[in-house]
Structures are given as C-alpha cells and as structure tokens.
Structure 1
Amino acid sequence: MSLEVRSLDLDGVLEIVPRKMGDERGFFSETWNARQFAEHGIALDFVQDNHSYSASRGVLRGLHYQLPPYAQDKLVRVVKGAIFDVAVDIRRGSPSFARWAAIEISARRWNQLLVPRGFAHGFLTLEPDTEVVYKVTNPYSPAHDRAIRFDDPDIAIAWPLPLAELQLSEKDRTAPQLRQAEVFEFAAGEERP
C-alpha cells in the first residue's frame, strides 16, 4: 500500500492520504503503518489514540498544544463527517511564527493531517455528527496543556463559518492570545518527523 504525502508549506505540516481499496463489500485502508511512514521521512512513536465526537456543525476545538516535555505530534483523521483543520506555528523565532495552514479533512476524502510538536492545532466541524480520531506522541498532561485564542488577530485564521455561529468550550473562549501564551522557542536545524 502506498501513501500520498504533501507539504502544506509550514515546517513539517503534512497532508497524508493513505490508499483505500474497496469493492461492493466496503473498503480496507492502512491509516498508520510505521514502515511506510518512515519511507516518507516520518518516524514517530505514537503512544495514545484520541476520538472526538461533535454533534453539530460549527463546533470549534482549539487552538490546543502541550509544552515540553509533553509536546505532541498529532496525526489527525476524520472517520465521519468533515472538519476545517488548522496548524499554527508557535515556535517563537521561527521564520513562519504565527503563520497557519489549513485543509479540509473528511471521511469522504480519506486524508489526514500531521501536526508536528511546536504547532497549535484546532478544528471546526463542517458537518453534524463529525468524528475525529488522532494519534499523539505523548500522553495528555494537564500541567502542560495550553490553548491560544481561535480568533487572535495576530494569527488571523480565515475560519469558513461566521464567528457568531461557532460553538466553543469555556476553555477555548477564554484562552489567551499568542502574545500572552507560553510557547516554544525555535531551534534552527531542529529535525522534523
């Protein structure tokens, strides 16, 4: 089985499309294969799988990340519905600091997004009853968990729905802006997965 891998023009942020084989019975797909991913330069040790369900269109989750030593790489995919998925470079000193990249991830398109450590991550549901599954390289750590405002003007994400229609948790609604947030320091020459 093969993978399509495409850079989203931010250091290490990749769209990945696994091969999907189907017939009249249904389909089969390897969504994670360490050997195949390593052949594309992606060598990660995932330690936890997460599954998120959103009942409505317009649910926004993010922008989330964890600080070292619990920083996480994430491999995000959608098993039902569709999302607008965003990665934001929060490595202070990086040439792309505060820049963002986004793609639509959906069960129909069968694509995934690799979000490296050092990036905040968020998504907006585009359909009701959307389910998102993602692998992470470090377990959840409440002491290292952080968030940045989804509507921070210094980042200026072009969310595809009007802000008044978005549904957010209290944590996300009251998150600090990037200027006040604890973030990563950019290390020139840092190896990316």
Structure 2
Amino acid sequence: MQFTETQLKGAFLVEIEKISDQRGFFARTFCAKEFEDRGLKSVVAQTSISFNSKKGTVRGLHYQIAPATETKLIRCTKGAIYDVIVDIRPESPTYLSHIAVELTDENHRALYLPEMFAHGYQVLTDGSEVIYQISEFYSPGCGRGLRYDDPVININWPLSVSEISSKDASWPLL
C-alpha cells in the first residue's frame, strides 16, 4: 500500500498496489503492521457498510467524542463518492479546515482519518456502497456532527443535495 499524508496532519490517502495477471488483480487493502509502522492506529473494532440509492445524497459530517473517539478507514466499493473530512482538533493549526477526495470503485483508494476528524460524503453515482473500518464501537452518547452546509467550513459539494437525514440537516451551526 502507498500512504500519502494530506495537508491535514495525520490524515492519509491510502492507495493499493495491484498485482495483476490475466484474471484481474490482487491487492492488500489493510495491514495492521503497515499502519502501525507509520504511527497510525490499526485497531478495527467494527466494520460497517453504507448503501446509498440516490446520487446527491449526503451523509454526515459525523464524529465521536471521548471516551469513544475513533479513527476510520473509508473506502467506496461500488460507485463513487465525494468524501470530506474536517479537522476538529482545537489545538491543530488546521482546525476547521477540510479536504475532499473522490473515492470510487475504480480508483480503489481509501481515506484514513485520525481521531477528532468529522467525516461525511456526497454520493456521486446511484447505488454506491461505502465500507468503514472503525477503531471504536459506536457509542450513541458520544456521537456528534457538523452541519454539511455550515458557512464556517464552506464545503463546496459537487451536486445539489438530493437526500439527507433530518438529524444530519439539523446539527447546529458553528
């Protein structure tokens, strides 16, 4: 795997290294040792899948607070998403900055986000699926969110929002 740190310290784009032949290819998508060698958290407490039927759907921006802060490895296994992470570490020089990357079933990239990063995405193709590897168990009392349209964060979503949960639409503005 190839790890490229983003401009948000601790967040990495993770790309596979394909071994190809006439059948297609094989690639490692996760190796605890490779993550640990880079000082990244390699614990996976749970893996989740999200299916999104409609292009334009927005999910997030979600995070968990202590004592259940979590790291995530996000990968789109079907279709395409516009994946956004926001640095919410108050002591960070990039506090409230965000980046966005396109994750697709064709580019096979993943995005690793450390603790105290909010995460969300917009679906770019109908019928998209997203896999999350998460370091902590879901703890509803620790769940928080940022509004997808908060002007302080100023995310430029590529499509009009076609679907969003009432919970995600009602997070307070910063």
TM-score, length of structure 1 as denominator length: 0.86
For 1:40 and 1:97, how far apart are their aligned partners in 2?
22
Over the residues paired in the alignment, what is the CA RMSD in angstroms?
A: 1.3
Deviation at 1:119, TM superposition (A): 0.7
C-alpha separation in 1, matches of 2:113 and 2:42: 12
Structure 2 match to 1:161: 159
1:90 aligns with 2:98: no
Letter in 2 for 1:110: H
Q: What are structure 2's unaligned runs of at least 5 residues?
A: none
Percent identical residues: 38
CA deviations on 1:86-135 (whole Å, 9 max, x unpaired) are: 11011224221111011001110010000111110001111111000010
The farther-off stretch of 39-48 and 120-129 is 39-48
Q: After TM superposition, give the deviation of residue 41 of structure 1 in Å.
A: 3.1
**2:126 equivalent in structure 1:** 128
Corresponding pairs, count: 174
Q: Secondary structure at the match of 2:172?
A: coil
Structure 2 distance, partners of 1:91, 1:43, is: 17
Q: d(CA) in 1 for partners of 2:126 and 2:23? A: 26
Unaligned residue ranges in structure 1 (runs of 5+): 180-193
1:138 aligned residue: 136
Cα deviation, 1:112-160, whole Å, max 9, x if unaligned, reads 0001111100011111110000101100011111111000000001111
Using a 3 Å threshold, how does the CA distance of structure 1 residues 27 and 72 change in structure 2: closer, same or farther? same
Q: In the alignment, which of 61, 79, 84 is matched to residue 81 of structure 1?
A: 79
* Corresponding position: 1:176 with 2:162: no
TM-fit CA distance, 1:46: 1.2
Q: In structure 1, how many angstroms separate the alpha carbons of the residues matched to 2:100 and 2:89?
A: 18
Q: Give, in whole Å, the separation in 1 of the partners of 2:135 and 2:18.
A: 25
Between the aligned partners of 2:163 and 2:54, the Cα distance in structure 1 is 9
